A and B are shown apart, each in its own frame.
Chain A
Amino acid sequence: AQKITQTQPGMFVQEKEAVTLDCTYDTSDPSYGLFWYKQPSSGEMIFLIYQGSYDQQNATEGRYSLNFQKARKSANLVISASQLGDSAMYFCAMREGRGSGYALNFGKGTSLLVTP
């Protein structure tokens, strides 16, 4: 079964607008972490933001915020004030378990295109 679901294959947003990228997850483990990565056309995976399952507040990192709704098992990424350089693939990922050495399960990704 798919553990991470990203339902939007592609998204468009106008420069300076905000955009929300959806991510839902499936786990029975009470300890887990949720991640968002950005992959530009060059291929590198850039870490954006992290949310732990026990974190009470939504994570924020500059223009990125994670809308964590635990009961709905969703972890949407919000990018505010979009820039042309935000055009890329965005992957949601989950790590199950507490501690180190656990691999990430990735969603299929959302391609974001920021238009002038």
Chain B
Amino acid sequence: GAVVSQHPSWVICKSGTSVKIECRSLDFQATTMFWYRQFPKQSLMLMATSNEGSKATYEQGVEKDKFLINHASLTLSTLTVTSAHPEDSSFYICSAEKQGIAKNIQYFGAGTRLSVL
């Protein structure tokens, strides 16, 4: 298997503060990691693709200055929600791509529930 760790699992913050979420691949290296957002009872929505050593690629409508992504090593990507507001409250989940023979599988972290007061 493959293990992806995401931290914190749950965070409450005041409006205007910044929150950093970490995503680590524990037993494999990941050139590419992905960040998704999920609203209650909905599917996953891709926010950005994070590539090690280069700038992230953001999906249309996702503010890059608000959702800062850093992929500084082959095992760690971080998402920082800057100046968080109540509308940023959501479930954020990351995945790391494990490359294999004839197939690449995305393994997911356990997600982070963000509540902005």
A-side interface residues toward B, CB under 8 Å?
Answer: 33, 35, 37, 42-47, 50, 52, 91, 95, 99-104, 106-109
Say whether, besides A52-B103, A101-B31, A103-B34, A45 and B43 are in contact (CB < 8 Å).
no
Q: Is the interface of A mostly helix, strand, loop or mixed?
A: loop
Contact B107 A47 (CB under 8 A): yes
Q: A44-B108, A47-B105 are in contact. Are A106 and B49 (CB under 8 A)?
A: no
Which of B44, B46, B91, B107 has the largest count of A CB atoms less than 10 A from its CB? B44
Within the complex, which residue of B51, B95, B105, B110 is in contact with A42, where a contact is CB–CB below 8 Å?
Answer: B110
Contact of A100 with B107 at beta-carbon distance under 8 Å, contacts A45-B95, A108-B42, A109-B43 already known: no
Taken together as a complex, chains A and B put the C-alpha atoms of A52 and B75 apart, in Å, by 26
**CB-CB nearest in chain A for B99:** A100
Q: Name the distance in Å between B50's Cβ and chain A's nearest Cβ.
A: 10
Q: Which of A52, A91, A102 has the most CB of B within 10 A?
A: A102
Q: Are B103 and A43 in contact (CB under 8 A)?
A: no
Which of A104, A107, A108 is the one whose CB lies under 8 Å from B106? Answer: A104
| Supplied contacts A42-B110, A44-B93, A101-B32, 10 more A-B pairs, CB within 8 Å | A33-B103, A35-B105, A44-B110, A45-B93, A45-B108, A45-B111, A100-B97, A100-B104, A101-B49, A101-B97
Q: Which of B32, B44, B102 contacts A52 (CB 8 A)?
A: B102
With both beta carbons as reference points, the residue of chain A lying nearest to B111 in the complex is identified as: A43
**Do A43 and B107 touch (CB < 8 A)?**
no
User: Can you list 24 A-B contacts with CB-CB less than 8 angstroms, sorted by A residue number?
Assistant: A33-B103, A42-B110, A43-B111, A43-B113, A44-B108, A44-B109, A45-B44, A45-B95, A45-B108, A46-B108, A47-B105, A50-B105, A99-B104, A100-B97, A100-B104, A101-B32, A101-B51, A103-B34, A103-B46, A104-B44, A104-B95, A104-B106, A108-B43, A109-B43
What is the minimal beta-carbon distance from A8 to any residue of chain B, in angstroms?
A: 14
B91 cross-chain contacts in A, Cβ below 8 A? 43
Q: How far is the CB of B77 from chain A (nearest CB, A)?
A: 13
**A33 to B95 alpha-carbon distance, docked (Å):** 16
Q: How far does the Cβ of A82 sit from chain B's closest Cβ, in whole Å?
A: 22
List chain B residues, Cβ under 8 A from A106.
43-44
